[in-house]
């Protein structure tokens, strides 16, 4: 599977369904650009806080977008890796997860937004309906292919389940849940060594 886009979403805690004040994130993301806090080319900040259950506040990058996203009524950091152009799914996913976890670490370390995240669970989406239609067969292939990455992240006891199965029009997705509580930075470090999607 060689999708064009892969995304992962880590949810805020303690309650991702509780209202979240996102306006401080606008300033935070502008600072991220000014101070090059995150790797890669960061371009601009888009404010979608007026949209119910929308993209919230989006830090638009050239290769990656980071969104404090309200989709599905659950607030979290949605990290979208774009234009993968031939990268393997495992490399792409490892890179996306790492970037997402490091962004969480940066947001929490900054402290200005008051947001905290629970990195023990993540929803992974393959945003490419041609390479990965949302059906049973593609899901099985996805789960099989990403198993090593999820094991590296959460250990062998990781629980994996299909998401978005109720609507085949949505992107193919799965939810992975780990057992142990570890920091985002530590989890990101666990994935080091597998970068390759650039």
Partner 1 sequence: MIQGADRASREPQFMATTPSSTPSPSTWKEALAGQMDSGWESEIDDFESQSVLRSQGKLDEKVFAETRLRRGVYGQRYDNGKRHDGTAERPLAFEDRPTKGPDTLWDAPGMQRIKIPFGGVSPEQLEVLAALSEEYSDGILHVTTRQDFQLHYIHIGDTPDLMRRLAAVDITTREACGNSVRNITACPLAGVCKTEAFDISPYAEAMMRFLLGHPDVQDFGRKFKPAFSGCEHEACGLVQMHDAGYVSRVVDGKRGFKVVVGGGLGPVPHQAKVLSEFTPEEELLPQTQAVARVFARLGEKRNRGRARIKFLVAKIGIEEFRRLVEEERKILPKDERWTEFLKDMPRTGGDAVRDAASLVAGDRQEGFDAWLATNVKPQRQEGYSVVTLNLPLGDITADQTRALVDLARAYCGDNIRTTVEQNIVLRFVSDADLPEVHRRLDAIGLAAPGAETIVDVTSCPGTDTCKLGIAASRGLGAELRQRLAAKSASLPQAVTDLKIKISGCFNSCGQHHVADIGFYGNSRKIEGRTVPHFQVILGGQWTENAGSYGMAVGSVPSKAIPQAVDALTDAYAHGREGAEGFAAWVKRMGKRNVRELIKPFMAVPPYAEGPDFYADWSDVREFTIGDLGVGECAGEVVSLFGIEVVRAESEAFDAQVALDDGDYEAAEDLAFRAMLTAARALVRTEYIDVTEDPDDIVSEFRSRFFDNERFFDRFARGKFGQYLLDRHADPPADAGRDHAAARVEEAQLFIEAAHACEVRVSAELAAGGGVPIENPADA
- Binding stretches for partner 1 (CB under 8 A): 1-2, 4-5, 26-27, 30, 33-34, 41, 43-55, 58, 60, 62, 65, 67, 71-73, 82-83, 123, 127-133, 135-141, 143-145, 160-167, 169-171, 173, 175
Q: Which is nearer to partner 1, 46 or 185 (CB)?
A: 46
Q: Which is nearer to partner 1, 153 or 188 (CB)?
A: 153
Strand spans (E) along 94-150: 116-126
Residue 5 CB, nearest approach to partner 1 (Å): 6
For residue 50, the tally of other CB atoms under 10 A from its CB is 6
Instruction: Compute the distance between CA of residue 67 and CA of residue 47 in angstroms, rounded to an integer.
Output: 10
Residue 38 CB, nearest approach to partner 1 (Å): 14
Please give the angle made by the CA atoms of 56, 158 and 184, to the nearest 5 degrees.
45
Residue positions counted in the chain: 198
Q: What phi and psi values does residue 171 have, to the nearest 5 degrees? A: -70, 150
Closest CA to 56 of 77, 38, 84, 37: 77
Taking CA atoms, 110 is separated from 22, 37, 75, 138, 176, in Å, by 15, 10, 18, 39, 27
Instruction: Compute the distance between CA of residue 116 and CA of residue 64 in angstroms, rounded to an integer.
Output: 21
For residue 144, the tally of other CB atoms under 10 A from its CB is 10
């Amino acid at each position: 599977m060689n999708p064009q886009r892969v995304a992962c979403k880590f949810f805020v805690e303690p309650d991702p369904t509780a209202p979240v004040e996102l306006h401080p994130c606008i300033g935070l993301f502008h600072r991220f650009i000014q101070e090059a806090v995150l790797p890669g080319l960061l371009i601009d900040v888009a404010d979608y806080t007026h949209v119910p259950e929308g993209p919230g506040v989006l830090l638009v990058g050239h290769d990656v977008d980071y969104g404090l996203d309200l989709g599905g009524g659950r607030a979290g950091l949605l990290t979208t890796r774009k234009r993968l152009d031939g990268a393997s799914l495992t490399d792409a996913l490892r890179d996306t997860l790492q970037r997402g976890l490091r962004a969480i670490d940066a947001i929490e370390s900054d402290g200005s937004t008051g947001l905290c995240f629970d990195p023990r669970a993540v929803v992974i989406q393959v945003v490419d309906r041609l390479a990965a239609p949302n059906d049973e067969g593609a899901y099985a292939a996805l789960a099989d292919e990403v198993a090593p990455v999820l094991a590296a992240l959460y250990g062998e006891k990781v629980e994996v389940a299909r998401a978005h199965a109720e609507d085949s029009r949505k992107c193919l997705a799965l939810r992975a849940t780990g057992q142990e509580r570890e920091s985002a930075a530590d989890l990101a470090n666990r994935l080091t060594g597998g970068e390759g999607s650039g």
